[in-house]
Amino acid sequence: MSAPTPEEISVLTKFRPRLTDLQLNEERNSDMDLLRWLRAREYNLDRAEDMLRKNLDWRKIQKLDDADNYQPPPNFIDDFPYELIGFDRENCPVVIFQSGRWDYKGAINSGIREEFLRFKEMISERIVRTMRGKITSEGIPVTQFVSIVDMGQISFRQTSISVLQMLKEEVSRFEANYPERLKATYVINIPWFFSIAMNFVHPFLTKRTLEKFNILKDETQWKEVLRELVSLEDLPVIYGGLNAKSRLNPSDAKIIE
């Protein structure tokens, strides 16, 4: 996230005094963190304050400050594969979600919908924690991450109404509680029915978020983009890199010279 402009600094001087009763810690009271809420609400002080206060209440209910101690159900690690593979050129975390392998419908049918949503929230929390203490090449604190969403192997059954409604809930929670955390999203291995899901969640994404979406249909194109994004040593073999130890690789993955 870019450093605050002089105009934004001026808005911050008006915003911070409205929050004194919250006794925010140093991180949450920093210019860069407060700026996320202001940008998300187009610098409307009332709306930004309301958003932040609701987030703090929600965090208490969800017990998100205890994320380091969270243990997902054992099967989640294999059933919902993802990995923080490294950092981009600006020191922002890069996470790959192999969403095409995620059985959303199975989670719903098994009665673990809420546990799944909590799992996603805890992933977001852990990603945010990897940013702490990191700065960009320009000396700006890191506040955003990059996501790579691999839709390969996804089944059309994952476009059921119940699945789309859960995705809507997931997107809505992220937008409400992690504003301006997303630096960019790259969607790869896109199936023909991807537009169904995208059209369904589109109304629940802000313009700012939608502008960060990059739909990469051509494999040659997305491999080139990913190689520019992170070092080859961090990029899993399956995505054209040299990282043979990544848990995202298939068992027979080989490095292509």
In this structure, is residue 83 part of a structural domain? Answer: yes
Q: Are residues 112 and 180 in the same domain?
A: yes
User: 252 falls in which pLDDT band (50, 70, 90)?
Assistant: low
In this structure, is residue 248 part of a structural domain? Answer: no
Total domains in the chain come to 2
Q: Are residues 130 and 57 in the same domain?
A: no
Residues 122-165 have pLDDT tens digits of 999 999 999 998 999 889 999 999 999 999 988 888 778 988 88
Q: Are residues 18 and 74 in the same domain?
A: no
Determine what percent of the chain is predicted with pLDDT higher than 70. 97
In this structure, is residue 234 part of a structural domain? Answer: yes
Q: Which residue has the higher pLDDT, 154 or 177?
A: 177
Q: Which residue has the higher pLDDT, 153 or 1?
A: 153
Q: What is the Cα–Cα distance from 186 to 222, expressed in whole angstroms?
A: 8
pLDDT at 255 over 60: no
92 and 145 Cβ atoms separated by less than 8 Å:
yes
In this structure, is residue 253 part of a structural domain? Answer: no
Domain that holds residue 52: 6-62
Q: Are residues 124 and 58 in the same domain?
A: no
List strands edge to edge, sheet with 145-150. Answer: 82-87, 93-97, 145-150, 182-188, 213-215
Q: What angle do CA 54, 59, 63 make, to 5 degrees?
A: 155
Q: Are residues 38 and 90 in the same domain?
A: no
Q: Are residues 167 and 85 in the same domain?
A: yes
Q: Are residues 157 and 233 in the same domain?
A: yes
Q: Are residues 28 and 124 in the same domain?
A: no
Q: What is the Cα–Cα distance from 17 to 133, expressed in whole angstroms?
A: 25
Residues 4-29 have pLDDT tens digits of 899 999 999 999 999 999 999 999 99
